[in-house]
Chains A and B, each alone.
Chain A
Amino acid sequence: MRTYVLRRLLGAIPLLFGASLLIFLVFALTPGDFIDGNINLTPQRAAELKALYGLDRPLWARYLGWLSQLLHGDLGFSLQHQIPVSTLLGQYLWSSFLLALVSLLLYWTLSLAVGVLAAVRPYSWFDRVVTLLVFAAMSFPVFFLCLLLIKWFAVDLGWLPVGGMISIGSNATGWDYALDVARHMVLPVLTLVMLQAGGLTRYVRASMLDALAMDCVRTARAKGLPERVVILRHALRNALLPLIALLGFELPGLFAGAIVTEKIFNWPGVGHIHIDTLAARDYPVLMSFTLLLAVLTIVGNLLADVLSALADPRIRLR
């Protein structure tokens, strides 16, 4: 088990370097940068600034410089916001994380419950309705869903705020503050849950159908165990194994998938920052955010491998 984890860990390291190189190249090869984009600068001043930021050095030197910065925990300096990138991301990361975590908990609960119920009675009317909803959820363009929700619930009905994280001018504290944030979260969370629950429910249902067809489930029934025990203890435990591996992919996926949602709901998160800084070509921020996603993906994969190994005795006790 320990060698298994170690091997995975070692495999992740080259992947991290590869990802950083890929990200660096995409940005370094993009013509135009923060300085070129600023028409107020004289050519002389622009050249000075380029030298200051090291943009005049050869490619490999810039990559190594960036890498050594990263290894020292320095993500660079935001050109647009004029603060260190780590500070900037630190400010916005937690609100993104809050949104992601709440959505994650909700749609996993929903998908597990609905997927298992649909698999237990395949081709029943319940299963058919679920399948229909799953297809609808998988086919909605995020921004269209956001816009519809805003139009109906925020504008027409006026039940919920249009966007943001707290009401404008509010200086509520304690419970009032939490309630205010919660009200602002309803629509973005609803969007993310609807988007993600579709695919996951489908996966849970398929995985559960596979598990229910296993010989050991028939054995459990032959032992005369109550159906609830057969389904929850014998089938679901097996169905969960591939799902655990999926959990590792979810967090980076949510951060990435929330970019459009955060933007439209004006949620002060990293995805929102990502799109805003794009217009200003604030490369240190963009590179850091992209790298953050890559790191989250790699760590998530690693975590998924380790978790499935822990959950599956066939890997754990090899």
Chain B
Amino acid sequence: MSQPLIEFDRLSVQFATEQGVARAVQDVSFAIQAGESVAVVGESGCGKSVTALSLMGLLPPAPACRLGGEVRLDAANLLALPPAAWRPLRGRDIAMVFQEPMSALNPVLSVGEQLMEPLLTHRQLSPAAAWQQAIALLQQVGIARPEAIAASYPHQLSGGMLQRVMLAIAISCQPRLLIADEPTTALDVTIQAQILDLLRRLQQASGMALLLITHDLGIVAEMADRVVVMYAGRVVETGSVRDIFRHPQHPYTQGLLASRPVPGRRLARLAAIPGQVPSPLALPDHCAFAERCPHARPACLHRQPVLQATSPTQQAACLLLSTEEAA
């Protein structure tokens, strides 16, 4: 494989809180190739958003937040960069779309002004040229009457409209990677489909890579090439979409898939994973899923599993897999 665009290498993120250290992300490693779509899946609080924000350098500064490992863009470690060197990469090489379009845009600036900002900063366009470009971008994300929309303020637009604007801002400098953090969670179902469709078209047109953060397996199946499943701050399984959906190896992934309603299949009730995600303040030294795992064995309460290949394209971190192998 060629040089990956992005590489997470044993990334760990810790937050200092009043009550102790919260280990939000631990030992996370995966890569994103140019043009590839990678989905990070997991429940709320599993560390997927924190992983994405570490790539943008948007986590709170030390000592509130401590980072370990490396995050590489074109083989250069971003975490070692001084803030001034990191800033120009944001918005130009890596762009991000957030969950809440309503609050992600500044209420006191017009949509056009906010859309022009990255163009003025990264591409040094003249204000007039940036305005023209902003209008063109709004057209590109499927907004009719772009001039009127550019002159309006966020509170005057609907959520779907605002998310289109966010996408326009994100692609304005033709980034090589777009991070979309739950981009449709806050939207109505019909709008969700439109935004996902737009996202896919934009990706095909520009060839940018996509890092999609979601808890919705339906979106994963539709959008992603590869899947990274996270639980309690760790990667528990990774593989191609086909691998993950056809033969999930980790009990947690199996549980996630089983708790998803499938059209046409009638069940008395959906399978739910019992128990709760452990607090990041009190993570165990053994497998964090052991207490909830239907297949847990005594060994699971003593050791931390590591990712291992189960096929050329799939890896999982579960002690059950290694004992089976050893046996």
Chain A positions within 8 Å of B, measured between CB atoms, are: 214-216, 218-227, 229, 233-234, 237-238, 241, 311-314, 317
Contacts and interface: CB of A to CB of B under 8 A. Distances in A.
Interface residues of B, number: 31
A234 B100 CA distance: 17
Contact of A221 (B58, B105, B169): B58
Nearest to B113: A233
A216 B169 contact: no
Interface stretch (B1-9, B91-99, B240-248): B91-99
B106 interface: yes
Nearest to A318: B155
Contacts of A311: 108
B304 to A, nearest CB: 33
Contacts of B152: 317
Contacts of A317: 152-153, 155-156
Nearest to A315: B155
A219 B107 contact: no
Contacts of B261: none
B159 to A, nearest CB: 13
A224 B89 contact: yes
A227 B90 CA distance: 12
A215 B153 contact: no
Contact of B104 (A216, A229, A312, A314): A216
Given A215-B100, A218-B58, A218-B98, A224 B92 contact: yes
A313 B91 contact: no
Interface stretch (B116-124, B194-202, B250-258): B116-124
B297 interface: no
Contacts of B104: 215-216, 218-219
Q: Provide the main secondary structure of the chain A interface.
A: helix
B105 to A, nearest CB: 6
Interface string B76-98: 00000001000111111001101
Given A222-B58, A223-B95, 18 more contacts: A215-B100, A215-B104, A219-B105, A219-B169, A221-B56, A222-B56, A222-B98, A223-B90, A223-B117, A223-B118, A223-B121, A224-B88, A224-B92, A237-B106, A311-B108, A313-B107, A313-B108, A313-B155
Contact of A234 (B98, B106, B169): B106
B103 interface: yes
B75 interface: no
Contacts of A312: 107-108
A211 B105 CA distance: 13
Contact of A216 (B92, B107, B121): B107
A226 B98 contact: no
A317 B122 CA distance: 31
Contacts, number: 84
A143 B182 CA distance: 58
Contacts of B88: 224
A107 B98 CA distance: 39
Interface of B: 56, 58, 83, 87-92, 95-96, 98, 100, 103-110, 117-118, 121-122, 152-153, 155-156, 166, 169
A215 B87 CA distance: 18
Task: Count chain B CB atoms within 10 A of each CB in A233, A234, A313 and give the residue with the most.
Answer: A313
23 contacts: A214-B106, A215-B98, A215-B100, A215-B104, A216-B104, A216-B107, A220-B106, A221-B90, A222-B90, A223-B91, A223-B117, A224-B87, A224-B121, A225-B91, A225-B117, A233-B109, A234-B109, A237-B108, A312-B107, A313-B107, A313-B108, A313-B110, A313-B155
B153 A314 contact: yes
A219 B106 contact: yes
Task: Count chain B CB atoms within 10 A of each CB in A216, A229, A233, A238 and give the residue with the most.
Answer: A216
A221 B87 CA distance: 8
Given A224-B90, A224-B121, A314 B107 contact: yes
Contacts of A314: 107, 153, 155
Contacts of A220: 106, 117
Contacts of B153: 313-314, 317
B157 to A, nearest CB: 12
A216 B105 contact: yes
A224 B91 contact: yes
A287 to B, nearest CB: 43
A100 B68 CA distance: 55
A186 to B, nearest CB: 38
Task: Count chain B CB atoms within 10 A of each CB in A214, A215, A226 and give the residue with the most.
Answer: A215
B186 to A, nearest CB: 11
A314 B110 CA distance: 11
A41 to B, nearest CB: 64
Contacts of A218: 58, 98, 104
Contacts of A313: 107-108, 110, 153, 155
Nearest to B108: A237
B230 to A, nearest CB: 21
A123 B110 CA distance: 33
B108 A222 contact: no
Nearest to A215: B103
Contacts of B122: 224
B98 A219 contact: yes
A226 B87 contact: yes
A233 to B, nearest CB: 8
Nearest to A223: B91
A63 B104 CA distance: 56
Contacts of B89: 224
Contacts of A214: 103, 106
A238 B154 CA distance: 14
Contacts of A216: 103-107
Nearest to B64: A123
